[in-house]
Amino acid sequence: MTLIKNPILPGAYPDPSVVRVGDDFYLVNSSFEFFPGLPIHHSKDLANWTLIGYGLDRQEQLDDSINLMDVESDGGIHAPSIRYHQGKFYIITTNVYHAPEGKSPI
């Protein structure tokens, strides 16, 4: 049996979402205004996690409507959900932006 020591990921890893694929577990969490964003961790036992990449790691993934450079510290990429279906991983996020009253942030 693996002993789990909390926190399993030291530091700030809010809003975790985990998906199991066979004997492997993948975790993604909020990254707010930081780029690269949506850190992805892998584990075989839910106790030991390794950072394996980012869901948002290429500038071309950001179109004109997603500008992480100009968001406030409570904006950006929130509450991701990771899923696996027919051989592909999907990450769905909530993107939070603020704008002056009456103006669209996008």
Q: What is the pLDDT of residues 30-87, one digit of tens each?
A: 998 888 999 999 999 999 999 999 999 988 887 666 667 777 777 788 999 999 999 9
Instruction: Determine the Cα–Cα distance for residues 21 and 61; give it in Å rounded to an integer.
Output: 25
- Report residue 4 as tokens: 């789990």
Integer Cα distance of 78 and 84 in angstroms: 19
pTM for the full predicted model: 0.84
Q: Does position 106 have pLDDT exceeding 60, yes or no?
A: no
Q: Which of 8, 101, 104 is nearest to 51 (CA)?
A: 8
